[in-house]
Amino acid sequence: MAANGEVTVQSYIQHHLTNASVCSTENGIGFVKECANAGFWTWHIDTLVWSILLGFVFILSFRSVAKKATTGVPGKFQCFVEMIVEFVGQSVRDTFHGKNPLIAPLALTIFVWVLLMNIMDIIPIDWLPMLAGQVGAAFGHDPHDVYMKVVPTTDLNLTLALALGVFMLMIYYSIKIKGIGGFLKELYAHPFNTPWLYWFNFILETIALLAKPLSLALRLFGNLYAAELIFILIAGLIGLWQLPAHFIWAAFHILVIPLQAFIFMMLTIVYLSLAHEDH
């Protein structure tokens, strides 16, 4: 907001890029603006609410299809779900070379959940934040002080959390399949199996290991954040150019949304497949 209350393009962009936050302060619990110098913790409640809600949408919708599945002529939604399940299953069969019943359900969950979170970027940028502002006004708050980001994957905290979960599974299965000794040997004895280069191998392999979840998180975040920023910039345009510009970018972005979910899923499968290889 400008000093006189007029909405500027800069304030408009800043408003849409700000998460609804709850944090710890010296006076107790603070909200959004008080979280700039927060204490021990800050929760992005819009990211949490939308990601959990979309997770339930995935679970309940797929569960409903599973309960109503028929061997006869399936309905359109059942066909759609079966296509997704078969697609993910084939991707796992082609990429994962170990034996683990967890991988296919995990890949399906990652693909559909990330896809649903990415799809939120298609919703016109002002609709849900404006609705949240009106709800806040009903409770006596200034609508301009009510923040909401509706695309969870534009929050680096969420993409890092997803990547951290994958990283923990990588470490767990590496130690389970290879043993703690085999896991450590991969770090210090590769690529140069020479004792005087063990220290160099360890530094090199540790960096490569940590880079996997970091790149996984940053790739998803960067693509969706940039896409959302472009939608916000388009929404700030004046006149009749806004609608065709929005349509053109949305049509292109429809390709990006499933692609990023697919890449996150495939890299997860590849990383876990490497963790299951026992050399």
Known catalytic residues are: 215, 219, 223
Q: What is the dihedral of CA 150, 155, 158, 159, to 10 degrees?
A: 120
**Both tokens of residue 170?**
């990588």
How far apart CA 27 and CA 130 sit, in angstroms, is 29
**Both tokens of residue 90?**
């084939």
**Both tokens of residue 113?**
């959940």
Q: In what helix (H) or strand (E) does residue 22 lie, and over which residues does it extend? A: strand 21-25
- First-to-final CA distance of the chain: 60
Q: What are phi and psi of 84, to 5 degrees?
A: -65, -45
Select from 26, 19, 23, 1 the least CA-distant residue to 11: 1
